[in-house]
Amino acid sequence: MKKASVTTKKAPKVKKPLTTQKVRNTAKAKKWVYFFGNGKAEGKGDMKELLGGKGAGLAEMTNLGIPVPAGFTITTEACNAFFTSGKKHPPQMWDQVLENLKKVEKSMGMRFGDPVNPLLVSVRSGAKFSMPGMMDTVLNLGLTPATLQGIITRTNNERFGYDAYRRFITMFGTIVMGIDRNKFEHVIEKMKKAKGIELDTDLDAGDLKIVSEEFKSIYKNETGSDFPNDPLRQLELAINAVFGSWFGNRAAKYRKLNGIADDLGTACNIQSMVFGNIGETSGTGVGFTRDPSTGEKKFFAECLINAQGEDVVAGIRTPLHIEELAKKMPKAYADLKKIYQKLEKHYKDMLDIEFTVQEGTLYMLQTRVGKRTAAAALKIATDMVKEKLIDKKTALLRIDPAQIDQLLHPMIDPNSNLKVVCKGLPASPGAAVGRVVFNAEDAEHAAGLNEKVILVRTETSPEDIGGMAAAQGILTARGGMTSHAAVVGRGMGKCCVVGCSAIDINENEKYFTINGSITVREGDAVTLNGTTGEVMLGEAQLVSSVLKGDFQVIMKWADEARKLGVRANADTPHDAKVAREFGAQGIGLCRTEHMFFEADRIRAVREMILSDTREERERALAKILPMQKKDFIGIFREMAGLPVTIRLLDPPLHEFLPHTDEDIQELAREMNVSADRLRAKNKALHEFNPMLGHRGCRLGVTYPEIYEMQVRAIMEAACELAQQKVKVFPEIMIPLVGHVNELKAMRDITVKVADEVKAKYKSKTAYAVGTMIELPRACITSDEIAPYADFYSFGTNDLTQTAYGLSRDDAGRFLPYYIDVKVLAEDPFMQLDQTGVGALMQMAVDKGRKVKKDMKLGICGEHGGDPSSVEFCHRLGLDYVSCSPYRIPIARLAAAQAVLRKAGKDLSKSTV
């Protein structure tokens, strides 16, 4: 190999930063630069603070003896010094850069700026935390008219050379100098138009040569200087740009919003480029150490001979099976095999790798933990335990609980290629295919004919329950992740996409438009992806996942590890059955209002609402009693031996009345009252803010007969089953308590009726009376409330609404924007706001347990199925979480992970 001397030859000509020149001869300077290459790195994997994540990773790989193209990392301290000294390099930094560049040249056998065998480098920023808004990668730095010729000669490919060159000018111009990318792209477009071609790849070497020259003119116009032909000048500018990007607007704003300290600084990585397209002894490839789709233990990789990584990405050539590499370059293949096995052993995980062979020598370009399907995640985790590579604890922590969801719902065939026409919020996972209908009645009618339909509504209301159950999936134009459709959809395990604001529904004429252009009419087929929120026209093929052995193994391990109980939110015997199959240890929330909507009883409910006196109401309630009792018998039976928490009536009464004129007329005829009377009742019951209105225990206080009927139904059901030797543990829950006196009064009523029923049945059936903690005031006065509650269940949906002053039904208008611009890091209805709502919960727990040490505590808000929220509940010391049946496996795994992680560490996918 030739000895490189480019740097020493050219360096004196470079205009060095003044500071460097001034102090270059002082005594021992600080170490600003860390080398990696030749199997040894000055840094290590745990030096992220100093070298950034990327620099530390490159050092770690090098130290493992894995061939990594040589390079060096300029430290975050250098970046900070750069800023504190008015954007000047700290003393001797540049000298150290030059020294290390020499080491790289030596390691690679190439020279920076050499016209025959030129070293090219990549320049990348890399802070301790991955941070959008900072500088991207500049590749091929070191290309000049002189070195370009060397590249062309070495690759024997003029087009490749000019393509690399024009790409470098673009990257340097836009990323380092901040020129508008459109200016460059415009030239390409013009060129293609002039030549009558469509693809960039159709441009030949001559075209690209012209383009490169035009690019350099743009550069001059925009920056006032010639494009630098001095590689060291290129490097200096790129390094300064990396440092400068730390205080760029976007990065600074990102740090501010995410609470990242300004003085962390970013490191800068300079690494030699290697090329897989220098000839038949060169090549490139990507792969996974195991099958990322199934998890099977076999090397899963592809390669291209005489090609660059970009070619794979661009899809110009079809990659070959990795065996081709074994045939053509047995030595490189043998090395690769050793390396990937070594890496997997070192990282103890399935890895995603990228490599390049340059003239027979293998280089690893990237190694990171590989993405995988849920099924693969389960198989790899359990296999690696069998292989004694990891222990059960590590296996459990390896699986993303949210991913488990994939396994429990049908999915769209990955080979399906329907076009996505719009996107809403992924409210309830899975996929659904069906014909569009616009109301619940049509959905039910179609279901009766065994037709598959998708129910499309502006938003759903409790009256739509029947139609939602009958439909394959639900699509709404309004509402957020905890809107009615979302909550009910998840509860049913039914695919649901909500808040799809691109669609505009005309219910009367039964069609909707998408972004004002596409029109979808009743009967047209659509496909929903509830996992991504995507909406497609036409029918996709669906594939259903099976809960395989690995799943059961992981769940068993999770159950061994976790301390939190996991219950289900379930309102019907069917839901209860599903929940039990998924591993529910009881019901944490049985909402009684859903029962009120069923066709056979809504009439009696409306009769009750239209009553003017307590006596009339009691007569109507007497009709509902046997039906509610039957519901409870069904649920108790499914949950035999396990506790069932039943919430007494919660929604405001007006939710049970019809609201459209047509429905009112119909009900009036049916009930033999005047439509005007119904309208008057609607008007009288109208509320400006129903969320904060006459609901929850406020109904029980003003109409005690309603709660009395419900308690009677619960206790009669429990006592009758107890006589049949079915083990029943009813827990009666009073909703929306804000003041202890509300609970006192409702507890008195409950105990009175329950004891009456027990006496009637001569039964000893035990029951508990507790409350939902869902108002800030209840948290604050938890010490007053606790003496009257046998248990608390946190209703974090309403607690989030009230603590934030945020209506979940209305937040769709600004919450997505808040999250886009990072005013909020997460949707607080999806992931528990630990700082605010969590602090209220902590207060309620502390004050409640101070008064009643062993109080049973649970959560039944939607957060009960969110992994980070489950971990928080574990830390809070709750006894159980309760969630939709389909989320139970997620909660079981998350609860186990909560135990396994160090106390106090936050699982939340924090943005930092």
Residue of 303, 860, 873, 883 with catalytic role: 860
When asked if residue 694 is in the footprint of its own copies (CB under 8 A), the reply is yes
Taking the complex as a whole, the smallest distance from the CB of residue 577 to its own copies amounts, in Å, to 33
When asked if residue 31 is in the footprint of its own copies (CB under 8 A), the reply is no
Nearer to its own copies by Cβ, of 170 and 801: the residue is: 801
- Catalytic residue status for 484: yes
Report the distance separating Cα 347 and Cα 546, nearest Å.
Answer: 30
- Of residues 12, 448, 516, 805, which one binds its own copies by CB under 8 A? 805
**Using an 8 Å Cβ cutoff, are 91 and 26 in contact?**
yes
Element (H, E) at 470: helix 465-470
Contacts (Cβ under 8 Å, ≥6 apart) of 245: 125, 133, 134, 135, 251, 266
Neighbours of 271 (CB within 10 A): 23
Helix (H, G, I), strand (E, B) or coil at 271: strand
- Phi/psi class of residue 672: alpha, beta or left (left: φ > 0; alpha: ψ in -120 to 50)? left
Taking the complex as a whole, the smallest distance from the CB of residue 647 to its own copies amounts, in Å, to 15
Which one-letter amino acid corresponds to residue 702?
Answer: T
Nearer to its own copies by Cβ, of 334 and 823: the residue is: 823
Q: How many residues does the chain have?
A: 912
When asked if residue 784 is in the footprint of its own copies (CB under 8 A), the reply is yes
Candidate ranges 91-99, 108-116, 377-385, 811-819; the one touching its own copies (CB under 8 A):
811-819
Candidate ranges 36-44, 88-96, 531-539, 770-778; the one touching its own copies (CB under 8 A):
770-778
When asked if residue 360 is in the footprint of its own copies (CB under 8 A), the reply is no
When asked if residue 200 is in the footprint of its own copies (CB under 8 A), the reply is no
When asked if residue 619 is in the footprint of its own copies (CB under 8 A), the reply is no
Candidate ranges 63-71, 816-824, 869-877, 904-912; the one touching its own copies (CB under 8 A):
816-824
Report the number of secondary-structure helices (H) and strands (E) in the chain: 37, 34
Candidate ranges 19-27, 244-252, 403-411, 687-695; the one touching its own copies (CB under 8 A):
687-695
Total residues contacting its own copies by CB under 8 A comes to 51
Helix (H, G, I), strand (E, B) or coil at 612: coil
Q: What mask, x for binding its own copies by CB under 8 A, covers residues 723 to 742?
A: -------------x-xx-xx
Report the distance separating Cα 891 and Cα 881, nearest Å.
Answer: 8
Candidate ranges 76-84, 385-393, 813-821, 885-893; the one touching its own copies (CB under 8 A):
813-821
Restricting to residues 410-449, which ones interact with its own copies according to CB under 8 A?
Answer: none
Nearer to its own copies by Cβ, of 261 and 599: the residue is: 261
Nearer to its own copies by Cβ, of 450 and 835: the residue is: 835
- Catalytic residue status for 495: no
- Of residues 776, 819, 826, 899, which one binds its own copies by CB under 8 A? 776
Report the distance separating Cα 457 and Cα 439, nearest Å.
Answer: 7
When asked if residue 466 is in the footprint of its own copies (CB under 8 A), the reply is no
The one-character DSSP state at 532 is T
Taking the complex as a whole, the smallest distance from the CB of residue 819 to its own copies amounts, in Å, to 11
Residues linked to residue 41 through DSSP beta bridges, in sequence order: 36
- Phi/psi class of residue 156: alpha, beta or left (left: φ > 0; alpha: ψ in -120 to 50)? left
When asked if residue 752 is in the footprint of its own copies (CB under 8 A), the reply is no
Report the distance separating Cα 829 and Cα 725, nearest Å.
Answer: 41
Show the tokens assigned to 218.
């743009």
Contacts (Cβ under 8 Å, ≥6 apart) of 753: 708, 711, 712, 715
Helix (H, G, I), strand (E, B) or coil at 230: coil
- Rg of the chain's alpha carbons, rounded to an integer? 33
Candidate ranges 163-171, 193-201, 433-441, 681-689; the one touching its own copies (CB under 8 A):
681-689
Show the tokens assigned to 266.
């970013």
Residue of 484, 654, 863, 874 with catalytic role: 484
Taking the complex as a whole, the smallest distance from the CB of residue 11 to its own copies amounts, in Å, to 45
Contacts (Cβ under 8 Å, ≥6 apart) of 99: 33
Taking the complex as a whole, the smallest distance from the CB of residue 110 to its own copies amounts, in Å, to 49
Taking the complex as a whole, the smallest distance from the CB of residue 605 to its own copies amounts, in Å, to 19
Neighbours of 667 (CB within 10 A): 18
When asked if residue 257 is in the footprint of its own copies (CB under 8 A), the reply is yes
- Of residues 146, 514, 671, 691, which one binds its own copies by CB under 8 A? 691
Nearer to its own copies by Cβ, of 257 and 900: the residue is: 257
Classify burial at 399, counting beta carbons within 10 Å of its beta carbon; exposed 0-12, middle 13-18, buried 19 or more: buried
When asked if residue 803 is in the footprint of its own copies (CB under 8 A), the reply is yes
Report the catalytic residues: 484, 860
Residues interacting with its own copies, by CB under 8 A?
256-257, 687-694, 698, 701-702, 736, 738-739, 741-742, 744-745, 774-777, 780-781, 784, 798, 801-807, 809-810, 813-814, 817-818, 821-824, 833, 835-837, 839-840
